[in-house]
Amino acid sequence: MMVTLTVNGTQHSLDTEPDTPLLWVLRDQLNLTGTKYGCGIAQCGACTVHVGGQAMRSCVTPLSAVQNQEVITIEGLSDDGLSHPLQVAWREIDVPQCGYCQSGQIMAAAALLASNPNPTEEDIASSVNNLCRCGTYLRINKAILQAAEARGQHKNQTQGEAS
């Protein structure tokens, strides 16, 4: 069965069993290895991507569920891989340690900021619950708050220029 989906703006038609988890399609067929395998049962969030703007755990998302959907992976979060406010904050605060879970952490946080530009610590706690064995949680929280603030300032500036 052919499944058609869009990944980071590029459309793909894949002749793959429809029950194949999106994670392995991304990693093994589309060579997008920034999305990681951690547990395969949606417990850790290392595989988090956006489907239709929502954070999804791709290890339990069958390919059939993303037919004709827009998928964004960490590789597509920003054009240059540098400029998303979360990437800026991650770099400035030096969040990562081993780094393996960080793609998923950032994608979970990006979905949160897209729907809630000004999250409280409680909002972060309830929607970014990805596991990190290095325990970078404190810096993750700090970076999400900093990115939210930076985005807010950027918006205010843009609005100020417009008026």
Partner 1 sequence: MITSLEMSRRGFLKASGLAAGGLVLAFQLPLIVRQARGASPSGGTLNAFLTLDPEGRVTFFSPFIEGGQGVYTALPQIIADELDVAFETISVEQAPAGEAYKIMFGGTQRFTGGSMSVRSSYTAMRQAGAAARQMLLQAAADRWEVPIGELDTQPGRVVHAASERSIGYGELAEAAGALEPPTDPPLKDPSRFRYIGKPIQRNDSTAKANGSAQFAIDVRLPNMAYAAVKQSPVLGGDVASMDEAAIADRPGVISVERLPGAVAVIADTYWHAQSALDALPVEFENAAAAGLNSEQLAEEMQGRVDEAGMTAESHGDVEAAFLDAERVIEAVYQMPFLAHATMEPMNATADVTAERCEAWVPNQGVDVVVQQIAEITGLSADNITVHTPYIGGFYGRRFITDYGQQAVRLSKAAGRPVQLIWSREQDTQHDYFRPMVTLKHRAAIDAEGKVSGWHVTVVGDGPFKRLMPQFMQDGIDSSALEGVTEQPYTIANRRVDWVSHDYPVKIGFWRSVGHSYNGYVTESFIDEMAEATATDPLEFRRQLLGEAPRYLNVLDSVAEMAGYQPSVQEENGRRSAYGIALHLSFGSIVGEVAKVSIEEGRPRVHKVWCAVDCGSMVNPDTIEAQIQSGISTGLSQTLLEEITIENGEVVQKNFDTYRFLPPSLMPDVEVQIIESGAEMGGIGEVGTPPVAPAVASAVYKLTGQRIRRLPMARHDLTASA
Task: Give the footprint of partner 1 on this chain (CB under 8 A).
Answer: 17, 20-21, 24, 27-29, 31-41, 43-44, 46, 73-75, 77-78, 81-82, 86-87, 90-92, 94-103, 106, 125, 128-141
Query: Which candidate, 56, 46, 25, places its Cα nearest to that of 99?
Result: 46
Q: How far apart are CA 22 and CA 24, in angstroms?
A: 6
Q: Least distance from C-beta 6 to partner 1, angstroms? A: 18
Q: Least distance from C-beta 101 to partner 1, angstroms? A: 5
Closer residue to partner 1, CB minimum distance, 69 or 102: 102
DSSP the chain: -EEEEEETTEEEEEES-TTSBHHHIIIIIS--TTS--S-SSSSS-TTEEEETTEEEEGGG-BGGGGTT-EEE-GGGSSSSSS-SHHHHHHHHHT--SS-TTHHHHHHHHHHHHHH-SS--HHHHHHH-----TT--HHHHHHHHHHHHHHHHHHHHHHHHHH-
Closer residue to partner 1, CB minimum distance, 6 or 8: 8
Q: Least distance from C-beta 140 to partner 1, angstroms? A: 7
Q: Least distance from C-beta 147 to partner 1, angstroms? A: 11
> Residue 49's beta-bridge partner residues?
56
Closer residue to partner 1, CB minimum distance, 69 or 75: 75
Closer residue to partner 1, CB minimum distance, 6 or 43: 43
Closer residue to partner 1, CB minimum distance, 69 or 130: 130
Q: Least distance from C-beta 34 to partner 1, angstroms? A: 2
